[in-house]
Structure 1
Amino acid sequence: MRKNLKTYRRLIKLPFGHKLFSLIVCRVAPYFSSINPLITELKPGYAEVSIKKRRRVHNHINTVHAIAMCNMAELAAGMMTDVSVPEKSKWLPTGMTVRYLKKAKTDLVAVANGDNIEWDTEGDKIVPVEVTDTEGNVVFSAEITMNVRLS
């Protein structure tokens, strides 16, 4: 089992375990701390990341900034990829295509779903991510290309 998944499963049993795991991830990859993410679910083929709509992630029209949504999508896709690829594999994001569908006026949840991806082969994998608002509207979608190398 991948180290991140083992750590996640151990920590979520603790009070504030999701928050603690998210802080550890942001310590390893500090740029993600700019959105103050909460990793709420993580398992092979699936990851869920939420952020609060707060001033720090606002743009000039008081909605969640497009790049904040890119960050949460990349975090969800990366965490899901990490726990989905075979042990000792290496992966790297190599591209991202995004669509801004609606103004993001609330807290947000990003879901990376890799259930239909063949993780045990090398090459580029397209990871779909959808970001929804508190009403369930898809406000942003992304396809993130992950290059996977088996060891």
Structure 2
Amino acid sequence: MSTARTPNKLARTVAGFQRLPRGLRTWATSFALGRVVPLVGTAGLRYEEITPQRVVVRIRNQRKVQNHIQGVHAAAMALLAETATGFCVGMNLPDDKLPLIKTMKIDYVRRSQGDMVAAASLRPEQIQQILTQDKGEVTVPVTITDASGEQPIQAEMVWAWVPRKRG
């Protein structure tokens, strides 16, 4: 992971977990980040991959995140997409900036099956924009698949960033 280029608190925290064995790394990273964002911890999201270019997050289809037909709840699907895209931006955002979700568009195209995975990524020019602009916004591509390998939802997430106010 390239944290020398963009050392921020999130990237440093994630880098600290990279020395752990994979199974423990996933658990420790998910536990720590779930404490920072309580809803993420409550929903049991698991971070499978975190780099400045790509973030992959999984949600298990378990009772605490289910809807009335025992699938992953629509709001939990939105949380999955928002989390993957937000951490993708967060891995690159300087500490003096604050990330904010600006637009969340989700189309539910079919019933989901089982666990779900969201994979978000940023292109090099998007990362450069995040690193160099005082304020801005970026559309973060994200693909959400379920246990069948299909995409039950299509999402578009626009993230903005602004200077962090010192108080």
TM-score computed with the length of structure 2 as normaliser = 0.81
1:77 aligns with 2:85: yes
Percent identity reads: 28
Q: Deviations over 1:83-130 (max 9, x none)?
A: 123453322112211111221111111111122623233322112222
Q: Distance in 2 between matches of 1:87 and 1:60?
A: 41
Q: Structure 1 counterpart of 2:10, which letter? A: N
Superposed structure 1 runs of 4+ greater than 4 Å apart? none
* Aligned equivalent of 1:91, options 87, 92, 99: 99
Determine if contact 1:86/1:150 at 8 Å carries over to the other structure: no
Determine if contact 1:99/1:141 at 8 Å carries over to the other structure: yes
Q: Distance in 2 between matches of 1:55 and 1:86?
A: 37
TM-score computed with the length of structure 1 as normaliser = 0.89
Q: Where in structure 1 are there 5+ consecutive unaligned residues?
A: none
Output the aligned Cα RMSD.
1.8
Determine if contact 1:62/1:105 at 8 Å carries over to the other structure: no
Q: How many residues align?
A: 151
Q: Where in structure 2 are there 5+ consecutive unaligned residues?
A: 1-6
* Aligned equivalent of 2:52, options 24, 44, 48: 44
Partner of 1:9: 15
Partner of 2:3: none
Q: Deviations over 1:13-49 (max 9, x none)?
A: 2141111111111111111123201111111121110
